Structure 1
Amino acid sequence: MTRNDISEEILWKKSQGLTAYPEALHFMSAHAQEIIQKKADPLVWLVEHEPIFTAGTSAKKEDLFNPHHYPTYEAGRGGQWTYHGPGQRLAYVMLDLNKQNGTIPARDLRAYVQGLEQWIITTLSSLGVKSFTREGRIGVWATDPITNQEAKIAALGIRVSRWISWHGISINLNPTLNDFNGIVPCGITEYGVTSLERFDRSISMQTLDEALAKAWPLIFGSIPKEI
């Protein structure tokens, strides 16, 4: 695949079933290198994983409890411990940050992270769920309709190689929320986690995926092209 220097599209790939985490790491690393070498196009890859815990570069051993003995992996991304599992949408973003992408200036890591946050917030808003960021807290938050407390509904973790991004975001659709008790999510003990299911049980993974694709160009400029 030859990379176009100027393109208004971004490749958009969705994998069915559960993708093994080592397979995802290998694919992302290889694809990022191919983008660096101008042998591949930027790509957003939507996946689900089996129940696992992944450690970012700031993860602390004491923040992992893992009562169910789920597999654990060194992710190589920023951040701390994160849980992934069925019912959670992962969007791995392999984007060329050497150039401007929509509202995101070239080589501006802070703007890129804020862009990912805004992508999530815009997506969830289109599904009728108000979400927000909080100073000093990583991720995207919402007021849980059952507990009436602020809780994390989406997480971010990125890695950048020569200004090519990989890893990305995760949004809780309907995962087993008790599985998050196996870690201190992102090192934050004061707040819990929530999911879209608690706001509206009718939201499906397909509906979420369509909302993500619709919100993407509003932030990043390019139009998703399914492959």
Structure 2
Amino acid sequence: MDDLLTDSVEWRAEKARVPYREALEQMEARNRAIAEGEAPELVWMLEHPPVYTAGTSADGAELLDPRFEVVEAGRGGRYTYHGPGQRIGYIMLDLKERGRDVRCFVHSVEGWVIATLGDLGVECWRSEGRIGIWTRDVDGREAKIGAIGVRVRRWVTMHGFSVNLDPDLSHFTGIVPCGIDEFGVTSMARLGHATTPEAFDEALRQRAGDFLAALSGKECALP
């Protein structure tokens, strides 16, 4: 489904799973079109079939059991897993029009996801020195519920975030997620807050205005 999030930002929400390589090709093409002024900015919500993706800092020693296809993603970060039950948000925005501040962009994406999960009953936070979105797992320990990984080319952003709604958490054991092995991975369903992709997308959309406003620079209060 394609419609407008704002006058300049398109919102697309997929119901069918999109293979990772296909999504990567589409994202790169849209990045070029936005940079050349030939297409509007885009927030693209979707899920992938099971895949491990390698960021630019990926360490081969952290690929423990490559039971699924491994794809070089071109984004920052290390190895991540994507698969059914995990909602992905790919964000293609023109930072030339939004402050040219990559750090503010990443901080704002984190804040958008944290606020959305809070609206759905899951308290989350950033954790200094650890990439991702963190929460308290059923055993009381911190665990990752979402990942952030971005790339900026010609000042247009690519990639974005993933949130675990109800994936098969055993699939994460094939890698060291984002290079962090001392903490586990959790999901909304595991925490007793099961939700549908449609409900998550709608909650995220309700917070989109705050996210885009933060990119003005005036509201990007970095810690």
Using structure 2 for the length normalisation, give the TM-score.
Answer: 0.91
CA contact (8 A) 2:54 2:80 kept: yes
What SS does structure 1 have at the residue aligned with 2:147? strand
Supply the AA of the counterpart residue of 2:108: G
Specify whether residues 37 and 9 from structure 1 end up closer, same or farther in structure 2 by C-alpha distance, changes over 3 A only: closer
CA contact (8 A) 1:139 1:155 kept: yes
Partner of 2:120: 127
Tell me the CA shift for residue 66 of structure 1.
Answer: 2.0
Write out per-residue CA displacement over residues 45-98 of structure 1, whole angstroms, 9 at most, x where no aligned residue: 11100111000000000100125x200100000000000000000000000111
Tell me whether 1:96 sits opposite 2:88 in the alignment.
Answer: no
Supply the AA of the counterpart residue of 1:87: G
Tell me whether 1:212 sits opposite 2:211 in the alignment.
Answer: no
User: Segments of 4+ in structure 1 off by > 4 A?
Assistant: none
Tell me whether 1:191 sits opposite 2:183 in the alignment.
Answer: yes
Tell me the CA shift for residue 9 of structure 1.
Answer: 4.4
Tell me how far apart the structure 2 counterparts of residues 143 and 8 of structure 1 sit (CA, whole Å): 38
Tell me whether 1:22 sits opposite 2:21 in the alignment.
Answer: yes
Tell me how far apart the structure 1 counterparts of residues 70 and 34 of structure 2 sit (CA, whole Å): 28
What SS does structure 2 have at the residue aligned with 1:19? coil
CA RMSD, aligned part only? 1.3
Partner of 1:148: 140
Aligned length: 209
Supply the AA of the counterpart residue of 2:176: V
What SS does structure 2 have at the residue aligned with 1:197? coil
Tell me how far apart the structure 2 counterparts of residues 205 and 40 of structure 1 sit (CA, whole Å): 26
Higher relative contact order (CA 8 A, sep 6+): 1
Using structure 1 for the length normalisation, give the TM-score.
Answer: 0.89
CA contact (8 A) 2:8 2:40 kept: no
What SS does structure 2 have at the residue aligned with 1:65? coil
Partner of 1:31: 30
Supply the AA of the counterpart residue of 2:49: E
Tell me whether 1:162 sits opposite 2:162 in the alignment.
Answer: no
Partner of 1:110: 103
Mapping of 1:37-76 within 5 angstroms? 37-66=36-65, 69-76=67-74
Tell me, which stretches of 5 or more residues in structure 2 are unaligned?
1-5, 215-223
Supply the AA of the counterpart residue of 1:210: E
